[in-house]
Amino acid sequence: MKSLIELNNISFEYNNNKILKNINLEIKEGEKIALIGKSGAGKTTLISILNGTKRQTYGDIKIYGKNFNNLYNSQKRKIGTIWQDLRLIDDLSAEQNVNCGLLSNQNLIFTFKNLLNISSFHKAHKCMELCQLNSRIYSKNLKNISGGQKQRIAISRSIIQEPEILFADEPFNNLDPKLCDYLKNLFISRLNNYKIKFPNTILFSLHKIELIDGFTRVIGLKNGEISLDISKR
Amino acid sequence: MQKLKLDHTLISFLPILVFLPITYQIINDFHIGGLELFLDFVKAAFTPKINNQIINISITRLNETLFIAFTSWLISIIFGCFLGILSSDIFYKLIRIPVLIKYLLRFILNIIRSIHELVWCLILMQIFGINISIGILAICLPFIAINAKVISEQLELVSADLIESITTLNGNNFSSLITLIWSPIIKTIKNFGFYRLECSIRSTAILGLFGIGGIGTSIFLSFQALNFNEMWTYIFSISSLILFFKLILKQVKIQRINSNFILLIICISILITFYSIYFLINLLINNYYLSNLLLSKNIFLNFINLPDNYLKSIFDTITLSIFSSGIAISVPPFLLLISQNKYFIITLRFFAFIIRIIPPTIIILILLMFNEPSLSLAAITLGFYNAGITFKLLNDNLSEIDRNNYLAFKSIGLSNRSSWLIGLFIKQSKSYLSYCAYRSDIIFRETAIVSIVGSIGLGWQLKESLSSFAWNEVFIIIFSYSSIAIIGELLNDKIKSKLI
């Protein structure tokens, strides 16, 4: 399998506190990684470094064999993120929020159409249906819907982007166990009836140990260091 | 000995002390020369002149007022949005152009905003002559800068996390920017835009007094002819217009704006933008007086030839704005403390409305019937005009808060006043003072309105310099106005940040 991401001696400091210490990691194409660890272990920081929103204090990171800043836009677009705090736009409707995931592949006209609520929501509806969202909430403003529904909207926004690599920070928060299992299997099997291309390589940070079932690799973080790295294959 | 600790409640009442010097001067300058005239003025309020001719004039003048106010409001919203985006931090986070542009733009907008529309109007009238388009331009200039500031402040509230989340989608930078700023801009226009329309109507009425057209011109002409009955008809007609607008805006609760309507607004905005730019270029190029003026030597900031009494004018202007702010801050809570009687409050509300509607220029001319022109007279005019606005805000906010504390204090035997003070007002004093700090910025700019008529301060000096085409003096006065306003605004920002 081709190596997609390489982390060499990555450290991250914030206010003189070492959040991550000398992380060495290689992520290969097609891997389904579960990142586990207690609160404050450094999971969110690691994901932020991987998606390029935080810069490591020391060390070197390569994605597709290049530094993050040297990646082509077309390569950056292949990377998706589901944030722990969702980061959706409260004043837009559910379908408009999901359509925002298409920003990477569309032009300015599409953006205006989406904000004016006159774009096509066909693909957004498919993704939301896939996440078992009820059609009644599609056009609802985010202020009027529950936490679990918002969580699935954030997941739908990442699915519509059709990334090759997906980083997710506790993506199954606020969901009941049945839905957690369903969505996890969707990402692992990548099988669906809607011809939506699911990410081939995923790294999900998880807070519940029982969710690691099905992942091909489990990485444990403790006090900013890798304490566990098991490949199931 | 225990130190005296000033809390927000006490600070709200303390400025009442400005009445000591003001009352002293007013009593000293008092005369009864205009008593008969004043009685005619009051009587006329109950017998406004109503006939076909007056109604026709009122309708024509109101149409003019609406045209000026609406056009300047629309242009200032469009350009305000555009410049607000360009001067916001978020724009430079997403679009890679030098940040220096932002600072330069903010500096220019601060200067434009610091000068009142009346001052702009007087300068523009001197250069381009009197016509409606000059009135529109004079209102647009500071209003664009005010709207730009409000929009850019709202855009600063977009969280860094959301920016991060949208940028990691790696879309086109403009698409990401528009997605992030869309909702805050729509929300600001919905909440703040309509209030600006009311401000625009008021400003049109004030500029009208200086000949720009609209109902203000009719009010001033009838006042000059001592035709008070006619003047009251015009005042009542502009009051009805503002009330009508308020009523409509209260009824129209926009939940979700139709997308076709937004599309139409965008198309109209683009057309207006192009026409405004064309109009401005045309105006600037075809004005020979302006080109000669700009080419003449030593008109910009030549501090060797200072206007007469320049420093005194600056001192008077600052004192005037301090006295007026003192009145505007302390009078509303003081009046509400006197009595909580329902009818008393209704009467206060009525007077607050009337005082907001009658342009301050007319108020000061009426007061001049009893008094010599003085700083105190100007301070009373401007102070009470603004007290009408601060009263409305305070009374509206007090009526919205929970009255349980007030009732609890009353039930344990406290007097009405004490219960109101510690059960109601104490909760509002902080936010009230914070708004007053913002209001005092506006009061400083408005000193121009009363000082032109009241023969004091920089406004009067400006009028004199403009009349004699002493452009060097005009530039020095504008520079002084702008500098003091910006320093005042910085001080008030510090006060506000401590209060919030």
Determine contact: B172 vs chain A, CB below 8 A. Answer: yes
Q: Which amino acid is at B25?
A: Q
d(CA B223, CA B273): 38
CB contact, 8 Å: B176 with chain A? Answer: yes
Q: How far is A45 from chain B (nearest CA, A)?
A: 14
What is the value of ipTM here, to two decimals? 0.88
Contacts of B182 in chain A (CB under 8 A): 115
Helix (H, G, I), strand (E, B) or coil at A4: strand
Query: Using the beta-carbon criterion (under 8 Å), do A89 and B161 form an inter-chain contact?
Result: no
Q: Do A100 and B178 touch (CB under 8 A)?
A: no
Q: How many CB pairs under 8 A join A and B?
A: 70
Q: What residues of B are in contact with residue A101 (Cβ under 8 Å)?
A: 169
Among candidates B161, B168, B187 on the partner chain, residue whose Cβ is nearest the Cβ of A91: B187
What are A202's two structure tokens? 């995923």
Query: Per-residue pLDDT tens for A117-157?
Result: 888 899 999 999 999 999 999 999 888 899 999 999 999 99
Q: Domain B1-30+296-500's class? A: mainly alpha
Co-location of A107 and A145 in the same domain: yes
Residues A99 and A62 in one domain: no
- Split into its structural domains, chain A has a count of 2
Last residue of one domain, picked from the residues A161, A189, A207: A161
Residue of B490, B478, B469 whose CA lies nearest to B112: B478
Per-residue pLDDT of chain B (500 residues; tens, 9 = 90+): 455 556 788 888 999 999 999 999 999 998 888 888 889 998 999 999 999 999 999 999 999 999 999 999 999 999 999 999 999 999 999 998 999 999 999 999 999 998 999 999 999 988 888 888 899 999 999 999 999 999 998 999 899 999 999 988 888 899 999 999 999 998 888 878 888 888 898 899 889 888 888 998 999 899 889 999 999 999 999 888 888 887 887 776 555 566 777 788 888 888 888 888 888 888 888 777 777 777 666 666 666 777 778 888 899 999 999 999 999 999 999 999 998 888 999 999 989 988 888 888 888 888 888 888 889 999 999 999 999 999 998 998 888 888 888 888 888 888 888 888 888 898 888 889 888 888 888 899 888 888 887 778 888 888 888 888 888 888 888 888 889 888 888 888 888 777 66
CB of B255 less than 8 A from some CB of A: no
Residues A187, A139 share a domain? no
Residues 6+ apart with CB under 8 A from B490: none
> Quick one: which of B446, B451, B448 has its CA closest to B387?
B446
- Which of A5, A10, A3, A4 has its CA nearest to residue A225? A10
**Can you say whether the dihedral through the CA atoms of B197, B203, B208, B211 is positive or negative?**
negative
**Do the chains contact at B175 and A110, CB–CB below 8 Å?**
yes
Judged by a CB distance cut-off of 8 A, whether residue B400 touches chain A is: no
CB contact under 8 A, A79 and B162: no
Query: Do both A66 and A121 map to the same domain?
Result: no
Q: Cβ B166–A53 below 8 Å, yes or no?
A: no
- Asked if B235 contacts B357 with a C-beta cutoff of 8 angstroms, the reply is yes
What are the domain boundaries of chain B?
1-30+296-500, 48-295
B183 with A100: Cβ contact below 8 A: no
Which positions in chain B touch A89 (Cβ < 8 Å)?
Answer: 162, 179-180, 183
Secondary structure (3-state) at B69: helix
Report the gap between the CA of B253 and the closest CA in chain A (Å).
16
**Domain covering B48-295 in this structure, CATH number:** 1.10.3720.10
CATH of the domain at A41: 3.40.50.300
Q: Assess B267–A contact: CB distance below 8 Å, yes or no.
A: no
**CB-based contacts of A163, cutoff 8 Å, min separation 6:** A77, A78, A79, A80, A199
CA–CA distance, B171 with A157 (Å, rounded to integer): 13
**Domain carrying residue A129:** 87-161
Residue A199 near residue A80, CB atoms below 8 Å:
yes
Please tell me whether residues A168 and A62 are part of one structural domain. Answer: yes
Domains B1-30+296-500 and B48-295 fall in the same CATH topology: yes
Are residue A143 and residue A129 in the same domain, yes or no? yes
* Residue in A closest to B176 by C-alpha: A103
pLDDT tens, position by position, for chain A (233 residues)?
788 999 999 999 988 889 999 999 999 999 999 999 988 899 999 999 999 899 999 999 999 999 888 888 888 889 999 999 999 998 899 999 999 999 888 888 899 889 888 888 999 999 999 999 999 999 998 888 999 999 999 999 999 999 999 999 999 988 998 999 999 999 998 877 778 899 999 999 998 888 888 999 999 999 999 999 998 75
Residues A83, B176: C-beta atoms closer than 8 Å: no
One domain, residues A181 and A128: no
Chain A neighbors of B168, CB-CB under 8 A: 51-53, 79, 81
Residues 6+ apart with CB under 8 A from B431: B397, B499
